[in-house]
Chain A
């Protein structure tokens, strides 16, 4: 039997973290962990074996862009695919994401019932 996917959710919004965890666990059947900041998320990413990270961008202290860069430079985390989960939707916002080597972008607000399908599709887990 296939092991359930392990997903790390990094978002400073507690309510969003809760909603995303419920969505991925209940509808995707995956295992999740959550971090409230970039620093926390970076520590957890290094410590855990992850299949993917859902990463918010606008966060205090260390934003998602910085965390992403650090993930990609650390041998322990650089292979973990990152999906940006953001409320930044303007073209000018998106320009910032171009330099990041992320697997995909999911825009807030999202459908909690189908977000796991979006993640699976981005990461090619459907086939």
Chain B
């Protein structure tokens, strides 16, 4: 138990205690003043002043002082001890601010019996030093009392040759606060210094002083290449690596924040030492201090990689969007249940639906029932993982109800866990391809047929001759030989025409264009068919045009010859075939041409049915399928004519009336530079 002295008697203890407690030199001086008052009282007693009034005044003053001192002392929260140098407690004023009821802690007890040995020795050591030096000793020490860790400060003041006054103040809370603060600072520093690519800072605006940094963590050097101390010394260091337009934005945001205390969120670029662009994200929150300063606690972290990923993602998304939206083929994303999730413009155009309409449909809704089972089977195998993709030719039903044949490529996209996300379908409109394939098949079929027919006669005739059965029948053998020779010639013509047309179509042989005299071309053509005309008793009537033209002369002669041959073949004996040419600047010129030569070949033959007029220039599209046999044609002559005329930039057509005859026209454009001679 603590022995408490009540009421506390005025003594040296009180005076020194007040001085010590009030702290430092001033406290000590206050203590000195109290001591001086006490001494004054002693002097009064010793010298026995006779003046009562003086004594009464002095006593009154002393009493007043003691009362005051006692009140002050009792109000103090500290533990106050008067201790003999041997460790004996002489007086104790218990603490009110912290527990001090140690066992045996009472007047008359020795400190060694109260405190742990180390603590007691520390007290006695300080006491000895204070007495020896005559100066106050101050030290702090930890103490474990009643289950609490305390941190205390002891002020040890010599008051007599063998006594000291000790004021014990509890610093536990201060100590804890300091420790917590230190820990927070350490944590903050650790965070700031260990941000992977970033730093934390405290920026201050102080009226009259401007902006400056009060704290910058070490990470700034790794991130921006700036030393923290340089930035602390000069806040404008950070501006040296920024971009002007970013800094201008930042300045506006900071001013706004200064005005409204709004949080700052910025993304800024910096130029690294290597000259590369570094992106930072800056976030800070302002607070206004009582002294008028504004403080922003903030963090700046590197987001260069994030920006790069964002840019890459944007690019990727843009590329995907473009590839998806602008693809020349239809693309769709279909859910595992078959619902359309996304379709591109081509897909919509092909099927005649809007995107919104398709997104409300299932792929089965627009699939031709005949193809649905095969499509579903492919879909099922994709979902089950049996196949990664499949291709099939199928037909969709357009919104207008027509069947659209497409080539479908389908593949399944799964998530990271392997769960099906959606099916990517590419559809290609194959109507044109099918048409071309059909045309190609038809062409091959016709060519094959046209080649095999004369070959059949040749093979048959020669095969019969080889057996020798007509060795004794020369006329029949001769007939077989004629069949073989006639069909051989036909075969040669056919092969020639096929090759000629192929060369013209493929562009492998460029026509050699040169300046030609139209009249000469017409004369050459007439001469080449004159024998045929004479044979058929046909009159050829030529009305030549004296005009130079840029053309491939052989090709034009071939065209005229083909047309004249046809006219002669299909004309009755005694009739006339006319070949004319005129220069035209109005009726037949094409829009981009100024003038043209118009050739006409007119006959009085059987004419061409109206339904054949448009197709007789196609390959193997004779008016009569047997014409090629009867008239020695191949079915390619007019196709060759058309190709030659087209390559000259002209056009070819026919006008005809059944039973009356036909007029074949073709034009050759002429430039103004090629004036008539």
Contact between chains at B626 and A12 (CB < 8 Å): yes
The B-contacting residues of A in range 34-65, CB under 8 angstroms, are 58-60
Checking B441, B452, B458, B476 against A89 with a beta-carbon cut-off of 8 angstroms, the contacting residue is B452
The A-contacting residues of B in range 595-640, CB under 8 angstroms, are 624-626, 629
Q: Given A19-B461, A88-B445, decide whether A109 and B467 contact each other with a Cβ distance below 8 A.
A: no
CA distance A89 to B626 in the complex (A): 19
The yes or no answer to B380 lying at the interface (CB within 8 A) is no
Contact between chains at B445 and A90 (CB < 8 Å): yes
Closest 6 CB pairs of A and B: A19-B460, A87-B452, A15-B457, A108-B456, A109-B459, A109-B456
Contact between chains at B626 and A108 (CB < 8 Å): no
Task: Return chain B residues, CB-CB under 8 Å to A20.
Answer: 460
Checking B445, B457, B624 against A19 with a beta-carbon cut-off of 8 angstroms, the contacting residue is B457
CA distance A26 to B457 in the complex (A): 17
The yes or no answer to A73 lying at the interface (CB within 8 A) is no
The yes or no answer to B552 lying at the interface (CB within 8 A) is no
Apart from A111-B463, A112-B460, A112-B461: 17 A-B pairs, beta carbons within 8 A: A12-B626, A12-B629, A13-B629, A15-B457, A16-B460, A18-B483, A19-B457, A26-B469, A58-B449, A58-B625, A87-B453, A90-B445, A108-B453, A109-B459, A112-B464, A113-B463, A113-B467
B95 to chain A, nearest CB (A): 115
Residue of A nearest to B487 (CB): A15
CA distance A113 to B470 in the complex (A): 13
The yes or no answer to B455 lying at the interface (CB within 8 A) is yes
The A-contacting residues of B in range 450-494, CB under 8 angstroms, are 452-453, 455-461, 463-464, 467, 469, 476, 479-480, 483, 486-487
Q: Given A15-B461, A90-B444, A92-B445, decide whether A108 and B452 contact each other with a Cβ distance below 8 A.
A: yes
Checking A58, A92, A109 against B460 with a beta-carbon cut-off of 8 angstroms, the contacting residue is A109
Residue of A nearest to B438 (CB): A92
CA distance A60 to B635 in the complex (A): 14
CA distance A90 to B455 in the complex (A): 17
Contact between chains at B460 and A110 (CB < 8 Å): yes
The A-contacting residues of B in range 538-583, CB under 8 angstroms, are none
The yes or no answer to B56 lying at the interface (CB within 8 A) is no
The yes or no answer to B448 lying at the interface (CB within 8 A) is yes
CA distance A22 to B449 in the complex (A): 23
**A-to-B contact residues, CB < 8 Å:** 12-16, 18-20, 22-23, 26-27, 58-60, 87-90, 92-93, 108-113
**B-to-A contact residues, CB < 8 Å:** 441, 444-445, 448-449, 452-453, 455-461, 463-464, 467, 469, 476, 479-480, 483, 486-487, 624-626, 629
CA distance A92 to B437 in the complex (A): 11
CA distance A112 to B448 in the complex (A): 20
Contact between chains at B449 and A19 (CB < 8 Å): no
Contact between chains at B449 and A88 (CB < 8 Å): yes
Residue of A nearest to B452 (CB): A87
A19 to chain B, nearest CB (A): 3
A65 to chain B, nearest CB (A): 13
Checking B459, B460, B487, B625 against A59 with a beta-carbon cut-off of 8 angstroms, the contacting residue is B625
Task: Return chain B residues, CB-CB under 8 Å to A93.
Answer: 445
B200 to chain A, nearest CB (A): 80
CA distance A111 to B452 in the complex (A): 13
CA distance A88 to B624 in the complex (A): 18
Task: Return chain A residues, CB-CB under 8 Å to B463.
Answer: 23, 111-113
Q: Given A19-B460, A87-B456, decide whether A60 and B626 contact each other with a Cβ distance below 8 A.
A: yes
Residue of B nearest to A86 (CB): B449
Task: Return chain A residues, CB-CB under 8 Å to B476.
Answer: 22
A74 to chain B, nearest CB (A): 25
CA distance A92 to B458 in the complex (A): 26
CA distance A45 to B196 in the complex (A): 100
